[in-house]
Amino acid sequence: MLFTLQVESLFEDEDFRTKVTREQFEDLCQDLVDRIDKVIKDALATAELSAVCCHSVISMRLMKNICYLLILQ
């Protein structure tokens, strides 16, 4: 199944749009997910919490949704 990936005003007010599979999208985001993983684990450790304490993250932003997915791992 293909999904549309769109970035508005990517460069000089030009929009970018393409179709990708979920696997392609996950591959594109993997380096970001890897970097965020350590930050989340460090924040949980500083707060003396574990991932099981976090049952949900509500956000419309992609970054926070990725954090939610990492917490569930």
The mean pLDDT of the chain is 76
- Which amino acid is residue 11, in one-letter code? F
Residue 31 lies in a domain: yes
Residue 12 lies in a domain: no
Cβ contact 59:71 at 8 Å: no
Q: How far is Cα 71 from Cα 41, in angstroms, rounded to an integer?
A: 9
Range of the domain at 67: 23-72
Q: Which residue has the tokens 């179709």?
A: 19
Residue 63 lies in a domain: yes
Sites in the chain below the pLDDT cut of 70: 55-73
Quote the strand ranges of 1-73, DSSP E.
3-11, 14-20
Q: Which residue has the tokens 């460069």?
A: 11
Residue 44 lies in a domain: yes
* Of 52, 45, 1, residue with least CA distance to 25: 1
How many domains does one find in the chain?
A: 1
Residue 9 lies in a domain: no
